[in-house]
Structure formats: structure tokens, C-alpha cells
A and B are shown apart, each in its own frame.
Chain A
């Protein structure tokens, strides 16, 4: 009899069942709860670690991102740049082609823009120069993305490693040209503001409008065009694609050209509508952050506006905390990490239902 009791007690404490489909209200509720939990949890850590009032910390975080008009514009601009790179990786991701080379592809676009400025900025009338520079950036980045695509399509190489390695080549290329063009071998290329894109409204607006238009275009392309449909089929099942006569090699190559071209455009905006010069840290890891943005939004360009905004906001807020409270920068990173962890973690509760063990009543 003893044995019987023991085994009934070992019923699992927690047990999971998959949800069928969840109403959007409920999913928003879960997400909101996750953010609140994250803030509470982070607040406890803040008080324990830095002895600051967590409310003040959150306030400074918020103000760091939205505190002044300049900050808001900066926030929107940075969001758009990150969004642009995320848009670039998305078509490839929908095809299950894990393009980790957005960093390099964007850098190559930026390098081309700077090269155009340096080499023939003074040889062409400005409108013609802008046209040439735009086309050149898009083409070079597309070629940079095309290389791994060809190897994937014809030799089935691993695209993740390939694109990752291409990043380092891009960085080395920039270092080489900076050494070549920098004054007295300083390795720094001076700003060339005379070849900057004309200012529309304010210095950011051109980039913002371009990226937003691109977002809508990409959404339509992926959702409603025949090519977008082909991308989804190839991504879901290569066998099905072959079965219905899709040329898989062609789709891989075409999609990566699009991916690279968008990177090139973002690189162009970074240089010609921003820094007016190039450096190896110009993209600053956003090529990798973009992967997260794209995944968080489940590869939907419209949702990406939200996810890129969230990431940029957290980044800005974290750096503001560091300057305001003169604490170690790891505090900001911890808060960012906790919030992201909770937001991603709550997906689990959206897909699964958790049952706890019922109190065993028949305990005699």
C-alpha cells in the first residue's frame, strides 16, 4: 500500500499543454504582464545593487529617450536605421537563409558612398553625383550579399558561417581604404559635408521617410507578390518548391540580392545623410541586433517598427542611466537584458498553457 501512495504523490508539479490559438486581447495582456513583471524584477535588482530609487532610474531611462525634441528625433532616426537593416535581413530569413552578414553588407554600402564622395564628388554635378552614388551603393552591397548566395545555391555551403566571415572581410577592406585615403596615413577619413544629401525638413527626415516607405513596400512584396510567395514556399519546404517547379537557386540568389540592396541603401543613408565619412564602427553591431529585431517581429515588416523602437529605446535609456547616476554601465545592460528576457520569455506562455498540480484531496 505504501508504494501506491508514493507513486500518486509523484504526479508532475507543472504540466504543459499547447494552446490552440489565442485571442489577440489575451496575448496583449500576457505581454503587458510580462513587461510589468520585468520592471518589478529589475526594480528589486536596482535597489539591491545601486541603492537608487528604481522609479528615478526608470524616469531617467524614459527621459533619456524622449526627454527633448532632439532626443526624440535621434531616437526616431536610430530606430529607422536599425529598422532598415532589419528589413534587409527579413526576406532572407523568411527563406530560412540565415543572413548574419548585414553588418558587412551595410558597411560595404557605406564604404562605397564614402568612396564615391572621395573619388569623384568634385567631378560630377551634384544631382548626377547623388544618382551615381545611390546606384553604386546598392550594387556593391547586392554583390557582397550575392557571393554567399551563389555558394549556397550551387554548393550548399553554410550561409551563416559564410556571411559571418564576410563581415570581417568588409571591416578589413574599410581599414585598408582608410589607411590609403586618410591624411598622412592617419587611418581616419575627414568628413566631406559638401557632398551630403540636401536637408529635407531636418537632418533626419530624409532617412526616416525612405525607411518607412521601404517598410511598406517590403510588407507588400512579401505578402502579396508572387516572388514573396515563392520566398515563403522555399523557406517552408525546399522539396515542395521543387515539386511545383520553383527554381530554388534562382529564388535564393534573387532574395539575397534584395537583402544586400537594402543594406546598401542603409549604408548610403548612414554616410550621405549622416556621418559623411566612413569608419569600421559606423554600423556598430546593428547588423546583428537586426537579427533579433526581425525575429522578435516574426519577420513581419510592420511589427518590426515596434521591435526596433523597443531595442533602440532600451539602448538609449541604458546609457542615460549610466550618465545620470554614474553607476557602472552594467546596470543599464542588466535592465535591458531583463526586459528583453521577459518579453521573449512570455512567448512561451502565449503558446503553452501551464497547469499546476491539483491539491490531492484523497489524502487519507
Chain B
């Protein structure tokens, strides 16, 4: 009751100060314009202004004071509660409403314009369990989680935390309810240390003391078995270390419910195992965890239960132990699908692209590509494996003429003329003018491959608009191409005039891959073409790559899912720290072998540190 009073009082004060401020703004103006008042009673104006200013200042002061005291009271209460909780030992929170779900969603609906992202979703998360959230792309997993984390607010429905209705309007609210989300894209400041990033934005009224923060971070890390150096700067960290910082950040703020959005997408198999071990330890400590992942075997190995979403609706939640991959896929897609990639034998592979000793140094003097040599054959898929950021991007961009190469040669054998061209350090336009049919599906689809704000037709035109001598654009052929891609690849879009930014991830990728294939390439490079795509779209893309291989195209496929790389490629080249650490036959190698090659030299240092 007391709290409520303080709240209304604060609002009244705030309104009052706003009112006085606005009068302050209007009065001098009226004095200046209504000249006769100004002449006769001119002395009143400054007196009034000062008076009003004093009043406004008082009101504002009152607002701050009440706000501050309310905060103090809350903090003291929290401290008392913490002390009491400490006395009654760890088991207390679990005991206090053990059978009430940690989190419950009832009839949650969220729409964006005419698009229904979530429709009437019911979901519950028990205390001390790991719930996997599964669903195709654009089925509303992330939207749903964002509503729990306070980024969106549901149009309809309720969220219950610990059995009590919760209104979460901002990430700050979410933290107050003990909900923390680890996003797919890390939100860290590179030049800050781990600890500095962790305390950033916490307003608990306590003194900022870095040594104390470091101590608490180490405490959390020891408790759950993280490896983290609180004083290390973010830019010196590997991807998995950055992720650790994100998780500790959430735990530091006292989250009991953790949401992880595709945490394994950027990790090697070994790192994934480590992460899962930590998550299990957290679960045993009574934390509740929701994990989003597209990788079915991970779902089966980590989760206690699986919730499946399809087209924004909650289909079912099942015990992981009672289900299997095929059943889950069927629930996700709504029909039975066969999940295998048929790999044909390469038909008379000839050398198409030969890369010899290329080395590249970036502006900061860091060697991004170190003496890379390999051959891509026509009619073959060359898989490229490696931890994200090991030089895959630089390698493909060097071949495409977008990245400066310091040394080495990139030789292209023209299948029609038999001539050999050196593509090294040529611009994309020069490469095209040589008659080299090089297609490139870049990692950054909307930032590089496509223009988000343009419609599908204009995006088709990117590759072909130069054709012909006319000063003006030909929109007819691109339109035909757009329509045929929409039809053949089943792109879900209102029409061909829709800006590609409005399409979902899988459809954007279909548009991009479709365009690149339509240029009938002799070399096709694809960087993470299925990143973030659901099973259905992924298999469409795999099939497209396979078709190109059968047509005699040299396909270079940079992937992250080792299972797919092993099933799709003919050979796998593994890069680690800008160097080739091995080229293996995909038919005979194992996941473990590739995983070890991926971490062969860069990981040495960190491993040693961990052991020490």
C-alpha cells in the first residue's frame, strides 16, 4: 500500500513539474508579443519566471527524492531477504513453491502488422529443468523469448513467473523477475574487460569496485565450472569465451531463468560439450533454462523436455526421453520428411580453381590468411570447416576480388577456352570481364549479397543490370527471373515487389542463392548458406548445391554444422587461425578428427591456460 502511494505521489509531482515548465516556456513568449502587457508590467515577468523556476526545481527534487528513497527501501528489503535466504541455505528457493512452474505463458499472442508471430502460445518451464525450444525459421521462437526478456510486449496473454503474473516491459523488468537472455549476437564492448562488461548497466546503488566484481565473477565461474578470466579484454577472447561472459553477466544479475538463443551455432563440438556440462550443473543448482537450437542431436542430448512451435503456434511439449529425431521433425514441419543428403560420386573432376600460397595481412598487421594452397575441382563439393573467424570469410572474399591479397596466386582454368587466368587482386568487375563465371553467396546476406530495402526484382538486377549499352534499366528480365525463383524455390512472399528485408531468413537466402545460381556459374562459393535456416530450407539449399555439383560446377561450401559438412562434401578443408590444418576425405573422416583439426593450433594456448 505504501509503495503504491509513493508511486502516485511521484506521478503527481512529475506532472506538476511538467506543467510549470511549460508555463515557463509560454509566458515570456506571450510577454514579448502582447506588447502592452510587456510595457506596463514588464518587471513581473522575471519575478514570475524565477518563482516558477523555483517551484519546478522543488517539484523535480521531490520526484528524485521519493524515487531514491523508494529504491533504498527496496534494496534494504532485498538485502534482508538475501540474508534470510542465506540462513535457510540453498534448498530454500526450491522448497518455496517447488511444484509451481518457474515460468508460465498463457495464451500469448504477438503480431507485427499483418504477420502473426505468435498465436495463443501456452508454455511452462519447471524449476530445475532444461527446456529445448524447437521450430522452423520464422515460427516465432525468438519473438516468444523476446517477450519474456522484455524486448517486446505481448499483444495478448499473460506471463506468470513463480506462479505470479508478471508484467515485463523492459529488459530491466525481466532482470527484476530473474529472467536473463543470452542473445545470438553478443552485446559486449570490445575494449572493456569481462568484469567491466558484466557490471555495465547495473544500478544497485553500491560502490563500483572492480576487485569485488572480479571476486564475485570468479565465485560464479567456480560454482558452475566456467573458465573465465575477469580481467581479460573482450577483443582478446574467442567466441566461446565471449559467450561465457554473456552467461556470467546474466547470472551475476541473479537470473534464475536463463534463455539461450542458438548458443551452439558459433561453437565447435568440443566447446558445445563444455557448455552443456555447465548448463547441466546450473540445472542441478535449481536454475531453469530454455535453449533454442536447430541441431536435433543437441536437443536430444541436453534437454529434459522439448517444446515445439510451428507457424507461431505451440504444437506440443514432450519429454525428451520419449521422443526421437523423426518424431520431432514431423511435429515441427507438420508432415513426414526424409532427412538425408544424397552424395553422388564426382564425375570426372578436373582442376577449376587453384589457390597457391596466398597470404593476406589486414590493416592492423594481423595475418588473416597464412600461406593457403588448395585446389577446387569441377564437379565436386569442397567443404571448408573451421571455427568462426578463422579466415573463411577472407579466403572467399580474396577469390571474389573483395579482399586484398599480399602474396600468392589464384588460378582459374576456363572450361570453355582452356585458358588459365590469375584472379589475384583483381576487382569483381575485372574478374567478370575476364569471362570468369564466379558466383558468391556471402555470409552477410542483407549486408553484402542483397539490398534489404529494395524489392526482389531490383535485387535480381544487381548481377545483371550492366548488360546492354542502354543508359536505362531493363526491369523485364529481372522480373521474369524473380518470378521463376519465387516459383521454383517456393519463396514465401506476398509478391515480387516486396522488399527482401521483410522476408524471413530462409526466404532471403533462397532469393540470394537463386540469383547466384541463375548466373550459371562455373565456380560457386557459399559461406554458411544455411546459417539460421530451418530443416526444410536447409535441405532445399543442400539440394541446390548438389545439383550444381552434378552440372560440373566447382562448389566451395563453408559450413559450421560438421554433420552436414561430412554428409555433403567430397573433401573437407579445415582452416584454423588463417592456416590450412588439413584436407581430408569426407567419406572416410570422422567428426572428431575434423573437430581436432579445427582447434589444432589456436586453441593450444587457451587449453594450456585452463590446465594450469
User: Do chains A and B stick together as partners?
Assistant: yes
Chain A positions within 8 Å of B, measured between CB atoms, are: 2-4, 6-8, 10-12, 15, 17-21, 48-51, 224-227, 229, 232-233, 236-237, 239-240, 242-245, 247, 327-328, 330-331, 334, 355
Give the residue name and chain of the A residue nearest to B444 (CB). Answer: A239
Shortest Cβ gap from B527 to chain A (Å): 12
Interface of A is mostly: helix
Residues in B125-175 with C-beta less than 8 Å from chain A: 153, 155, 164-167, 169
A contact residues around B462 at 8 Å (CB): 233, 240, 244
Task: Tell me which of B33, B429, B465, B466 has the highest count of chain A C-beta atoms within 10 A of its own C-beta.
Answer: B33
B337 at the interface (CB under 8 A from A): no
B contact residues around A19 at 8 Å (CB): 113
Residues in B466-518 with C-beta less than 8 Å from chain A: 466, 470-473
Question: B4 contacts which of A6, A18, A51, A224 (Cβ < 8 Å)?
Answer: A6
What CA separation (Å) do A191 and B452 show in the bound complex? 53
- Asked whether, in the complex, the Cβ of A226 is within 8 Å of the Cβ of B465, the reply is yes
Question: A226 contacts which of B166, B442, B466 (Cβ < 8 Å)?
Answer: B466
Assuming the contacts A245-B427, A327-B33, asked whether A229 and B458 have C-beta atoms less than 8 A apart, the reply is: yes
What CA separation (Å) do A239 and B450 show in the bound complex? 10
A contact residues around B33 at 8 Å (CB): 49-50, 327-328, 330-331
What CA separation (Å) do A317 and B114 show in the bound complex? 42
B contact residues around A4 at 8 Å (CB): 164-165
- Asked whether, in the complex, the Cβ of B447 is within 8 Å of the Cβ of A237, the reply is yes
Question: A229 contacts which of B26, B402, B450, B465 (Cβ < 8 Å)?
Answer: B465
What CA separation (Å) do A224 and B458 show in the bound complex? 11
Residues of B in contact (CB 8 Å), total 52
- Asked whether, in the complex, the Cβ of A240 is within 8 Å of the Cβ of B32, the reply is no
Residues in B421-462 with C-beta less than 8 Å from chain A: 427-429, 431-432, 440, 442, 444, 446-454, 458, 461-462
B30 at the interface (CB under 8 A from A): yes
What CA separation (Å) do A18 and B169 show in the bound complex? 17
A contact residues around B604 at 8 Å (CB): none
Give the residue name and chain of the A residue nearest to B451 (CB). Answer: A236
B contact residues around A50 at 8 Å (CB): 33-34
- Asked whether, in the complex, the Cβ of B34 is within 8 Å of the Cβ of A240, the reply is no
- Asked whether, in the complex, the Cβ of A8 is within 8 Å of the Cβ of B432, the reply is no
B contact residues around A12 at 8 Å (CB): 153, 167, 169
Shortest Cβ gap from A298 to chain B (Å): 12
- Asked whether, in the complex, the Cβ of B113 is within 8 Å of the Cβ of A18, the reply is yes
Shortest Cβ gap from B3 to chain A (Å): 7
- Asked whether, in the complex, the Cβ of B447 is within 8 Å of the Cβ of A21, the reply is no
Assuming the contacts A3-B164, A7-B167, A247-B429, asked whether A49 and B29 have C-beta atoms less than 8 A apart, the reply is: yes
A contact residues around B465 at 8 Å (CB): 226, 229
B contact residues around A245 at 8 Å (CB): 401, 427-429, 431-432
B270 at the interface (CB under 8 A from A): no
Give the residue name and chain of the B residue nearest to A2 (CB). Answer: B1
- Asked whether, in the complex, the Cβ of A20 is within 8 Å of the Cβ of B34, the reply is no
What CA separation (Å) do A327 and B465 show in the bound complex? 58
A contact residues around B454 at 8 Å (CB): 232-233, 236
Question: B113 contacts which of A21, A237, A243 (Cβ < 8 Å)?
Answer: A21
- Asked whether, in the complex, the Cβ of B448 is within 8 Å of the Cβ of A243, the reply is yes
B contact residues around A7 at 8 Å (CB): 164-167
- Asked whether, in the complex, the Cβ of A11 is within 8 Å of the Cβ of B167, the reply is yes
B603 at the interface (CB under 8 A from A): no
Give the residue name and chain of the B residue nearest to A355 (CB). Answer: B155
A contact residues around B444 at 8 Å (CB): 239
B contact residues around A20 at 8 Å (CB): 112-115
- Asked whether, in the complex, the Cβ of A225 is within 8 Å of the Cβ of B473, the reply is yes
- Asked whether, in the complex, the Cβ of A243 is within 8 Å of the Cβ of B449, the reply is yes
- Asked whether, in the complex, the Cβ of A18 is within 8 Å of the Cβ of B472, the reply is no
Give the residue name and chain of the A residue nearest to B464 (CB). Answer: A244
B111 at the interface (CB under 8 A from A): yes
Query: 0/1 per residue, B109-121, Cβ < 8 Å to A?
Result: 0011111000000
A contact residues around B30 at 8 Å (CB): 48-49
Shortest Cβ gap from A70 to chain B (Å): 30
B400 at the interface (CB under 8 A from A): yes
A-B pairs with beta carbons under 8 Å apart, 20 shown: A2-B1, A11-B167, A12-B169, A17-B111, A17-B112, A20-B113, A49-B29, A49-B34, A50-B34, A226-B470, A227-B471, A232-B451, A233-B451, A240-B450, A242-B428, A243-B440, A244-B428, A244-B463, A247-B429, A328-B35
B contact residues around A2 at 8 Å (CB): 1
The 8 A-B residue pairs whose C-beta atoms are closest, nearest first, are A20-B113, A245-B429, A245-B428, A239-B448, A236-B451, A20-B114, A328-B33, A244-B462
- Asked whether, in the complex, the Cβ of B448 is within 8 Å of the Cβ of A240, the reply is yes
What CA separation (Å) do A26 and B568 show in the bound complex? 51
Give the residue name and chain of the B residue nearest to A3 (CB). Answer: B164
B contact residues around A15 at 8 Å (CB): 153
**9 additional contacts (CB under 8 A) given A4-B164, A7-B166, A20-B112:** A10-B167, A17-B113, A49-B33, A226-B466, A237-B451, A240-B450, A240-B451, A242-B428, A245-B431
What CA separation (Å) do A327 and B29 show in the bound complex? 12
Shortest Cβ gap from B441 to chain A (Å): 11
What CA separation (Å) do A327 and B111 show in the bound complex? 51
Query: 0/1 per residue, B13-41, Cβ < 8 Å to A?
Result: 00000000000001001101111000000
What CA separation (Å) do A19 and B113 show in the bound complex? 5
What CA separation (Å) do A183 and B38 show in the bound complex? 45
B contact residues around A244 at 8 Å (CB): 428, 462-463
A contact residues around B402 at 8 Å (CB): 242-243
B contact residues around A237 at 8 Å (CB): 446-448, 451-452
What CA separation (Å) do A330 and B35 show in the bound complex? 13
B contact residues around A6 at 8 Å (CB): 3-4
B contact residues around A232 at 8 Å (CB): 451, 454, 458
What CA separation (Å) do A11 and B113 show in the bound complex? 21
What CA separation (Å) do A34 and B462 show in the bound complex? 39
B contact residues around A10 at 8 Å (CB): 167
What CA separation (Å) do A242 and B440 show in the bound complex? 13
Task: Tell me which of A3, A8, A11, A229 has the highest count of chain B C-beta atoms within 10 A of its own C-beta.
Answer: A229
Task: Tell me which of B26, B29, B402, B429 has the highest count of chain A C-beta atoms within 10 A of its own C-beta.
Answer: B29
A contact residues around B473 at 8 Å (CB): 224-226, 229
What CA separation (Å) do A240 and B458 show in the bound complex? 13
Give the residue name and chain of the B residue nearest to A358 (CB). Answer: B156
Give the residue name and chain of the A residue nearest to B468 (CB). Answer: A226
B contact residues around A18 at 8 Å (CB): 112-113
Give the residue name and chain of the A residue nearest to B461 (CB). Answer: A229
Give the residue name and chain of the B residue nearest to A19 (CB). Answer: B113
Shortest Cβ gap from B481 to chain A (Å): 15
What CA separation (Å) do A250 and B401 show in the bound complex? 18
- Asked whether, in the complex, the Cβ of A236 is within 8 Å of the Cβ of B1, the reply is no
- Asked whether, in the complex, the Cβ of B461 is within 8 Å of the Cβ of A243, the reply is no
Query: 0/1 per residue, B70-114, Cβ < 8 Å to A?
Result: 000000000000000000000000000000000000000001111
Shortest Cβ gap from B397 to chain A (Å): 9
Give the residue name and chain of the B residue nearest to A8 (CB). Answer: B165
- Asked whether, in the complex, the Cβ of A226 is within 8 Å of the Cβ of B453, the reply is no
Shortest Cβ gap from A154 to chain B (Å): 16
What CA separation (Å) do A34 and B30 show in the bound complex? 25
Give the residue name and chain of the B residue nearest to A328 (CB). Answer: B33
Shortest Cβ gap from A143 to chain B (Å): 24
What CA separation (Å) do A233 and B466 show in the bound complex? 13
Shortest Cβ gap from A268 to chain B (Å): 25
Question: A240 contacts which of B35, B114, B155, B449 (Cβ < 8 Å)?
Answer: B449
Give the residue name and chain of the A residue nearest to B400 (CB). Answer: A243
Shortest Cβ gap from B314 to chain A (Å): 21
What CA separation (Å) do A240 and B466 show in the bound complex? 15
What CA separation (Å) do A227 and B466 show in the bound complex? 10
A contact residues around B400 at 8 Å (CB): 243
Shortest Cβ gap from B496 to chain A (Å): 15
What CA separation (Å) do A227 and B3 show in the bound complex? 63
What CA separation (Å) do A50 and B142 show in the bound complex? 56
A contact residues around B111 at 8 Å (CB): 17
Give the residue name and chain of the B residue nearest to A331 (CB). Answer: B33
Shortest Cβ gap from A326 to chain B (Å): 9
Shortest Cβ gap from B459 to chain A (Å): 9
What CA separation (Å) do A328 and B429 show in the bound complex? 62
